[in-house]
């Protein structure tokens, strides 16, 4: 079946397109973008009216926790993909901290098999840097690459040993995939549970200083300089990190970076009342940091918006703050929260889409995030003006752990199309 999307405002930053026109999709590929495309005769063509909507490449999220295998009570590949589709994401990159950890090709193959049979969006796995994420020996990086991993990461459990990190960079470089870095000095974080600052002081909660992130970013920039490896910094949360990345980019270091919607939307004030749905790592920081991240999104120091979608069960979160696991869900709130940057005049809608499509796709080199003729037809159609209230119980994710419950936000995904097939429709 073919699709003809009519009258939408088509925005594709990869081709500098921003105009009202039609898109014809045939055999799962983008066939044509132009005004008033005639309905091809003799074909089974489904027409979609996208009037007053934005039609753009499907979103790409380079930072998702799908939890399967091992933590299916939090999320499965199936529900994670459904959640992604509901949020307008057609490609998601999943982190290796499952159980077992994705540190060898058999786990990678399992994830990809599950994704092919049960997932409705494209899933690209990330492998671990070290075996069992223990920071002691390299994981089977080459075999995981062959099996389909698009990067390697130590998300959540940083490689403390600088020598091993250097070797990982040297080893992975010829494969042409990036190191996806969760920058954190666990010694500096100590047993902190939120940002170290006035709020943690008032609440008597142990703080994670911004320095904990910055020290590791500085180290990995230096290691990238001696190895030439591409490093991608996850969930940048502090003004100091932004400064380091900006400086490194200026000096030509092969570095990219992402920011999560919660880090450019909320501050550590959200933790007041010990709200465990505002507990994530890196933690929510201060207004000064939020401003710096927003500025970095504007000047392209930060390349992409990524959710760090981290579902947990309600029982795990409904406990003492110290005991609650880090992380919040993000796939189904990313678009409306990003649109706030557009409404605030910080990003043009085209720049926002760029950071949700072609930019993240380039980071992991998966060839998505574009509507170029011949490209796989991953398309998102959304209404940027429609207001809705965030209702976690209506999420398609198993996780309801969000600090945005009850927020009234603009921006509703109307349809999500993967390989020319509608996988999500707003009813």
Partner 1 sequence: MAFNRKNILSLNELTQGEIETILDTAESMKEVSSRDVKKVPALKGITVVNLFLEPSTRTRSSFEIAEKRLSADVLNFSSSQSSIVKGESLVDTAKNLEAMGATIIVIRHSMSGAPFVLAREINSSVINAGDGSHEHPSQALIDLFTIRQIKGGIKGLNVLIVGDILNSRVARSDIFGFLKLGANVRIVGPGSIVPKYFEDLGVQIFYSLEESLVDVDVVIMLRVQAERKSLEFFPSLREYSKFYGLNKDKLKIAKKDVTVMHPGPINRGVELSSEIANDPKSVILDQVSNGIAIRMAMLYLVSTGDKH
Among 113, 137, 226, 323, binds partner 1 (CB under 8 A): 323
Q: Cα angle at 123 between 122 and 127, to 5 degrees?
A: 155
Number of residues counted as binding partner 1 (CB under 8 A): 19
Stretch that binds partner 1, among 33-41, 315-323, 348-356, 371-379 (CB under 8 A): 315-323
Letters for 158-187 (x = contact with partner 1 by CB under 8 A, - = none) are: ------------------------------
* 333 and 392 Cβ atoms separated by less than 8 Å: no
Q: Strand 2-12 and strand 17-26: pairing? A: antiparallel
Stretch that binds partner 1, among 22-30, 89-97, 111-119, 321-329 (CB under 8 A): 321-329
Output 173 or 206, the one with its CB closest to partner 1. Answer: 206
Output 184 or 196, the one with its CB closest to partner 1. Answer: 196
Long-range CB contacts (< 8 A, 24+ apart) of 191-196? 192/283, 193/279, 193/283, 193/321, 193/322, 194/268, 194/271, 194/279, 194/283, 194/284, 194/321, 195/268, 195/271, 195/283, 195/284, 195/285, 195/286
Radius of gyration in angstroms for the set of CA atoms belonging to the chain, rounded to a whole number: 21
Output 52 or 275, the one with its CB closest to partner 1. Answer: 275
Q: How far apart are CA 291 and CA 306, in angstroms?
A: 18
Question: Applying CB under 8 A, does 147 fall inside the site for partner 1?
Answer: no
Output 269 or 383, the one with its CB closest to partner 1. Answer: 269
CB of 405 to partner 1, least distance (A): 14
* 167 and 142 Cβ atoms separated by less than 8 Å: no
CB of 198 to partner 1, least distance (A): 5
CB of 209 to partner 1, least distance (A): 10
Q: Please spell the DSSP secondary structure of 251-282, one letter per residue.
A: TT--EEEEE-HHHHH--GGGGTTT-GGG--SS
Helices (runs of H) and strands (runs of E) counted in the chain: 14, 19
CB of 285 to partner 1, least distance (A): 14
Among 171, 175, 274, 326, binds partner 1 (CB under 8 A): 274
Name the phi and psi angles at 23, rounded to 5: -130, 130
Catalytic pick among 308, 315, 351, 378: 308
CB of 327 to partner 1, least distance (A): 18
Output 47 or 322, the one with its CB closest to partner 1. Answer: 322
CB of 320 to partner 1, least distance (A): 4
Where helices occur in 12-104 by DSSP H, the ranges are 77-86
CB of 322 to partner 1, least distance (A): 4
Tell the residue number behind the tokens 């007053």, with chain if given.
52
Among 35, 252, 273, 427, binds partner 1 (CB under 8 A): 273
Q: Answer yes or no: 308 catalytic.
A: yes
Q: How far is CA 261 from CA 79, 121, 179, 198, 398, in A?
A: 21, 21, 22, 23, 20
Q: Cα angle at 120 between 117 and 126, to 5 degrees?
A: 80
Output 301 or 402, the one with its CB closest to partner 1. Answer: 402
- What token pair was written down for 49? 């009216």
Output 299 or 322, the one with its CB closest to partner 1. Answer: 322
Output 190 or 350, the one with its CB closest to partner 1. Answer: 190
CB of 306 to partner 1, least distance (A): 29
* 74 and 314 Cβ atoms separated by less than 8 Å: no
Question: Applying CB under 8 A, does 339 fall inside the site for partner 1?
Answer: no
Stretch that binds partner 1, among 124-132, 148-156, 312-320, 394-402 (CB under 8 A): 312-320
Q: How far apart are CA 399 and CA 18, in angstroms?
A: 35
Letters for 189-208 (x = contact with partner 1 by CB under 8 A, - = none) are: -------xxx-xxxxxxx--
Q: Which residues bind partner 1 (CB under 8 A)?
A: 196-198, 200-206, 273-274, 315, 318-323
Question: What amino acid positions are annotated as catalytic residues?
Answer: 308
């Amino acid at each position: 079946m073919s699709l003809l999307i009519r009258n939408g405002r088509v925005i594709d930053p990869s081709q500098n397109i921003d105009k009202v026109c039609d898109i014809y999709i045939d055999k799962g590929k983008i066939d044509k973008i132009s005004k008033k495309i005639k309905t091809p005769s003799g074909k089974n063509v489904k027409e979609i009216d996208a009037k007053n909507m934005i039609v753009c490449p499907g979103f790409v999220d380079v930072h998702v926790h799908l939890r399967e295998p091992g933590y299916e009570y939090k999320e499965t590949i199936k529900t994670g993909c459904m959640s992604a589709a509901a949020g307008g994401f057609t490609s998601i990159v999943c982190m290796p901290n499952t159980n077992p950890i994705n540190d060898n090709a058999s786990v990678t193959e399992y994830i990809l098999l599950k994704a092919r049979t049960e997932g409705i969006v494209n899933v690209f796995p990330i492998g671990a840097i070290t075996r069992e994420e223990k920071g002691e020996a390299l994981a089977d990086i080459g075999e995981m690459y062959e099996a389909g991993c698009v990067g390697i990461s130590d998300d959540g459990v940083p490689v403390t040993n600088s020598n091993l990190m250097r070797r990982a960079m040297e080893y992975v470089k010829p494969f042409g995939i990036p190191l996806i870095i969760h920058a954190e000095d666990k010694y500096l974080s100590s047993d902190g549970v939120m940002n170290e600052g006035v709020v943690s002081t008032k609440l008597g909660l142990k703080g994670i200083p911004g320095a904990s992130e910055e020290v590791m970013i500085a180290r990995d920039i230096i290691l990238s300089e001696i190895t030439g490896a591409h490093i991608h910094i996850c969930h940048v949360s502090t003004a100091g990190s932004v400064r380091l990345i900006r400086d490194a980019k200026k000096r030509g270091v092969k570095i990219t970076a992402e920011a999560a919607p919660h880090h450019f939307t909320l501050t550590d004030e959200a933790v007041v009342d010990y709200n465990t749905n505002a507990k994530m790592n890196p933690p929510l920081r201060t207004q000064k940091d939020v401003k710096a991240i927003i500025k970095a999104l504007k000047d392209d120091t930060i390349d992409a918006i990524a959710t760090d979608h981290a579902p947990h069960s309600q029982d795990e979160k409904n406990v003492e703050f110290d005991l609650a696991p880090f992380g919040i869900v993000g796939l189904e709130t990313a678009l409306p929260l990003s649109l706030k940057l557009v409404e605030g005049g910080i990003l043009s809608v085209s720049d926002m889409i760029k950071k949700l499509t072609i930019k993240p796709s380039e980071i992991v080199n998966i060839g998505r995030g574009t509507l170029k003729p011949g490209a796989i037809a991953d398309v998102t159609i959304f209404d940027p003006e429609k207001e809705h209230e965030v209702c976690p119980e209506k999420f398609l994710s198993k996780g309801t752990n969000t600090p945005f419950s009850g927020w009234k936000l603009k921006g509703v995904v109307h349809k999500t199309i993967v390989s020319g097939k509608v996988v999500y429709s707003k009813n």
